[in-house]
């Protein structure tokens, strides 16, 4: 009877420990805890609570203006006096809550996707050193600029007791500014031997023909802002239904040559 009772106690304790580890899970925290619009952090979601640590969390590594398709090394700095362990989570979203750019996995992080959004987070906790915890990651900018985009990030300040009490989170955001792309030096496309754009008036589809195997298309508004970017093959039907009505500049690059043509989106 005693053996059975002891076994039952151990079994219950094992379940409790397993449940606690699942809840904490420092190597695989749940997504959508960045503090972005419509999201919580680990603190407000009820995962960690009761902490009173103070501190700051900042993101560095972005230039004043970001180039489309460029890759940047970002660093998240968390400073706090007294906190023992640290974890983080970050996403990058447009004003419509769509994913912006792509995170690239590096040592110490892992990446997950939820609701078509990408999240980068710690692969295990870090201990604060000198009241500071630092995470480094890589992010590739999208092909199409969107100046209403932000990084959203949260940072956990934990006491290191192995539980979820006595911890709290910091949250922050950083806006992304994209570099305007100059199109002043491109050549007319109309008489090109390499590119053919059948019509300069379009509604839904833009027909682009190349006499080479591949190329790259970009569409700009008259302020020089990139509106759409696509890789091309010999025969292309480009969906331009999302473009606003008005005049746009189509730029096609084939090898080291660039050509342009104005189109009117109806």
The band of 181, judged by pLDDT with boundaries at 50, 70 and 90, is low
Q: Give residue limits of the domains in the chain.
A: 23-176, 187-265
CA distance to 169, 194, 197, per residue, from 158 (Å): 8, 61, 59
Residue 113 DSSP SS3:
strand
Class of domain 23-176: mainly beta
Chain position carrying tokens 């970009």 = 218
Residue 112, class by beta-carbon neighbours within 10 Å (0-12 exposed, 13-18 middle, 19+ buried)?
A: middle
207 bridge partner residues: 237
Q: Which fold has domain 187-265?
A: Immunoglobulin-like (2.60.40)
Nearest 5°: the CA angle 141, 254, 256 is 85
Strand, coil or helix: what is 108?
coil
CA–CA separation, 217 vs 231, rounded Å? 6
Average pLDDT, the chain: 83
Which segments of 81-125 are extended strands (E)? 85-93, 102-104, 109-114, 117-122
Q: Assess contact for 69 and 141: CB atoms under 8 A.
A: yes
CA angle 263/197/217 to nearest 5° reads 80
224 falls in which pLDDT band (50, 70, 90)? low
Question: What does the pLDDT average to over 115-135?
Answer: 95
Q: What is the mean pLDDT of residues 6-24?
A: 39
The pLDDT assigned to 26 comes to 67
Residue 81 above 60 pLDDT? yes
Strand 257-265 versus strand 201-202 pairing type: parallel
């Amino acid at each position: 009877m005693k053996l059975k009772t002891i076994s039952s106690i151990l079994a219950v304790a094992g379940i409790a420990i397993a449940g606690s580890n699942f809840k904490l899970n420092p190597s695989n925290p749940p997504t959508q805890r960045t503090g972005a619009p419509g999201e919580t952090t680990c603190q407000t979601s009820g995962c960690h609570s009761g902490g009173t640590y103070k501190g700051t969390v900042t993101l560095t590594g972005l230039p004043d203006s970001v180039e489309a398709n460029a890759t940047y090394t970002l660093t998240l700095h968390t400073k706090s006096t007294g906190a023992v362990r640290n974890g983080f989570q970050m996403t990058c979203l447009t004003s419509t809550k769509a994913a912006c750019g792509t995170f690239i996995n590096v040592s110490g992080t892992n990446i997950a996707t939820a609701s078509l959004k990408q999240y980068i987070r710690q692969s295990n906790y870090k201990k604060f050193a000198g009241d500071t915890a630092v995470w480094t990651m890589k992010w590739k900018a999208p092909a199409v600029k969107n100046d209403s985009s932000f990084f959203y990030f949260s940072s956990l300040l934990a006491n290191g007791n192995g539980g979820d009490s006595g911890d709290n989170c910091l949250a922050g955001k950083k806006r992304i500014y994209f570099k305007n792309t100059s199109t002043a030096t491109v050549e007319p496309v109309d008489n090109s031997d390499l590119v053919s754009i059948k019509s300069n008036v379009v509604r839904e589809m833009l027909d682009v023909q190349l006499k080479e195997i591949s190329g790259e298309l970009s569409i700009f508004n008259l302020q020089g802002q990139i509106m759409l970017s696509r890789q091309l093959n010999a025969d292309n039907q480009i969906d331009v239904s999302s473009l606003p009505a008005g005049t746009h500049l189509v730029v096609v690059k084939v090898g080291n040559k660039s050509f342009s043509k104005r189109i009117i989106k109806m």
